[in-house]
Amino acid sequence: MKTTTTTIRGLAIDVLVIETTHTDARGTLFYRAEIVIRERKTGAQRLVCRSRIPGAGQELARDVQRRGIRALEAFRPVA
């Protein structure tokens, strides 16, 4: 199992994209991406989105780098 964490730094918050992948010789068995917003001052973390679609985490990371925090407006917090 391989876990990759991408941190996108902002002025007041950081966006963390955590991707977990489990593969074998035939291909991908398991994929999960979590998008977390971390407050810089307090360190409080809030889960924004979860996805099981392969590549969704990197796609969102590119959108946040390109459009900034406005890329996250489409998501509502996960309970």
Tell me, yes or no, whether 57 lies in a domain.
yes
| Confidence class for position 18, pLDDT limits 50, 70, 90 | very high
Which range of residues forms the domain containing residue 29? Answer: 2-72
In a domain, 78, yes or no: no
| Cβ-proximal residues to 28 (8 Å cutoff; 6+ apart), any chain | 21, 22, 54
77 within a domain of the structure (yes/no):
no
pTM of the model: 0.77
Closest to 34 measured CA to CA, from 19, 46, 21? 19
- Quick one: three-class SS letters along the chain? CEEEEEEEECCCEEEEEEEEEEECCCCEEEEEEEEEEEECCCCCEEEEEEECCCCHHHHHHHHHHHHHHHHHCCCCCCC
Which pLDDT does position 60 carry in this prediction? Answer: 80
Task: Count the domains in the chain.
Answer: 1
